[in-house]
Structure 1
Amino acid sequence: MITVSTDGSCLRNPGGAIGWAWANHDGTHASGGAASGTNQIAELTAVLEAIHAHPGDEPLRIEADSQYAIKCSSEWVHGWKRKGWRTASGGPVQNLALIQAIDRAIAERPGPVAFAWVRGHRGDRFNERADELAGIAAREAREGRASSAQSSVPANAVGGAGRAQEPTVASAARPEPARTTAGTAARAVRATPAPERSEPAVVVDTLF
């Protein structure tokens, strides 16, 4: 099983610079940022980038301290899809483009994806590492330092008052040629993909 910790950072929520990061428990990692966004966008982007960076049929476990990101990715998404991507009250789903991108990424990944919630800032070294990387990326984005690599953040990833803009990349291990999506940027570690699975496998767990 591949285990990856994810985290997001927003320096002023909403509308401030954001950063996202994932930290694989084997020591590899990647991170990036955008000049404007929300904390929710940062957290969801970290999850999306972690899934894209770890394809293949090996089970993937994503540990995050954001219950919002976990529930959007594994629980609430099913009800929203049944309702035509509307909330229970009939309103629009916030950050819809990112949530749909995560849903597609899970469905297209041959191996199952499991989510586990961990308490933030409680000494988990991988959670702390992801938090550190996301913070660095957000500060670099605020200062206008950009990367030429590419990211999977959808162009219409809108949430609250923020919009996902061109991220900067703090670091990544063994980057492959970048994929272009909506003029944004990221680097990530990739394995060899296996044949697609028709239905996503999602498990949610809780760690204390």
Structure 2
Amino acid sequence: MITVSTDGSCLRNPGGAIGWAWVNHDGTSASGGARSGTNQVAELTAVLEAVLAHPGDEPLRVVADSQYAIKCASEWLPGWRRKGWRTASGGPVQNLGLVQAIDRAIAERTGPVTFGWVRGHTGDRFNERADELAGAAARAARDGTLPAGTMRETPVLEPVGAAPVRRARTTTSTTARTPSRRTGTAPATRSRRPEPDALF
């Protein structure tokens, strides 16, 4: 199984520069950002980039410290799709373009994708590395110093029912200096956050 930790960063929520990052537990990683966004956009972008960067038959597990991102990509997404990309109250799904892109990326991947939650800032080295990379990418996006190919336009809300547009993507990868080792991750747990309709 491929295990990848993701994280997002927003320097001033909402509207500040954002950064996203994924860190494969084999040591490879990638990051990028955008000039403006929200913390939710950053977290969802990190998940999307992680899935797109790891195609193939091998099972993929995405681990994040954002329960919002995990629930969007797994628990809430099927219901939204069944309702024509509407919430239970009939309102539009927030960050719809990214949610639909994640849905498509999972569907197009030949191997299964699962998700797990890990508490942030508790010493998980992969989560800490993703946090560090996402923060650096957000600062670089703010300062206009992101490497070519890693800047993303802020995603826009797409019309309900519209298929997301797959944009050309390029990421940079690096190899971590620390040796690879598997670590356990806590299963996704029920958040005390409001249900999706209350959020959206």
Normalised to the residue count of structure 2, the TM-score between the two structures is: 0.79
Counterpart-to-counterpart distance in 1, 2:154 and 2:9? 19
Q: Are 1:128 and 2:112 an aligned pair?
A: no
CA contact 1:18–1:36 (8 Å) conserved in 2: yes
Task: Give the match for residue 97 of structure 2.
Answer: 97
Aligned match for 2:167, one of 160, 181, 202 = 181
Task: Give the match for residue 119 of structure 1.
Answer: 119
> Letter of the aligned partner of 1:206 in structure 2?
A
Label 1:31 to 1:22 Cα distance change in 2 as closer, same or farther (>3 A). same
Task: Give the match for residue 206 of structure 1.
Answer: 188
1:52-100, CA deviations, whole angstroms, 9 ceiling, x for partnerless residues? Answer: 1000000001110000001100011111111110111111101000000
Q: Secondary structure at the match of 2:107?
A: helix
Task: Give the match for residue 156 of structure 2.
Answer: 157
Structure 2: gaps spanning 5 or more residues: 159-165, 174-185, 190-200
> Letter of the aligned partner of 1:136 in structure 2?
A
Structure with the higher fraction of residues in strand conformation: 1
Counterpart-to-counterpart distance in 2, 1:19 and 1:146? 10
Counterpart-to-counterpart distance in 2, 1:35 and 1:88? 32
Task: Give the match for residue 142 of structure 1.
Answer: 142
Structure 1: gaps spanning 5 or more residues: 160-179, 190-203
Structure 1 residue ranges (4+ consecutive) displaced by more than 2 angstroms after TM superposition: 153-159, 204-207
CA contact 2:137–2:146 (8 Å) conserved in 1: no
> Letter of the aligned partner of 1:89 in structure 2?
S
Q: Are 1:83 and 2:83 an aligned pair?
A: yes
Label 1:51 to 1:27 Cα distance change in 2 as closer, same or farther (>3 A). same
Label 1:102 to 1:37 Cα distance change in 2 as closer, same or farther (>3 A). same
Q: Secondary structure at the match of 1:206?
A: coil
Task: Give the match for residue 196 of structure 1.
Answer: none
Label 1:112 to 1:34 Cα distance change in 2 as closer, same or farther (>3 A). same
> Letter of the aligned partner of 2:47 in structure 1?
V
1:118-158, CA deviations, whole angstroms, 9 ceiling, x for partnerless residues? Answer: 0000000000000000000000001011332267x687434
Counterpart-to-counterpart distance in 2, 1:33 and 1:92? 25
CA contact 1:10–1:17 (8 Å) conserved in 2: yes
Task: Give the match for residue 69 of structure 1.
Answer: 69
Label 1:45 to 1:156 Cα distance change in 2 as closer, same or farther (>3 A). closer
Task: Give the match for residue 47 of structure 2.
Answer: 47
CA contact 1:98–1:154 (8 Å) conserved in 2: no
Task: Give the match for residue 192 of structure 2.
Answer: none
Counterpart-to-counterpart distance in 2, 1:92 and 1:61? 28
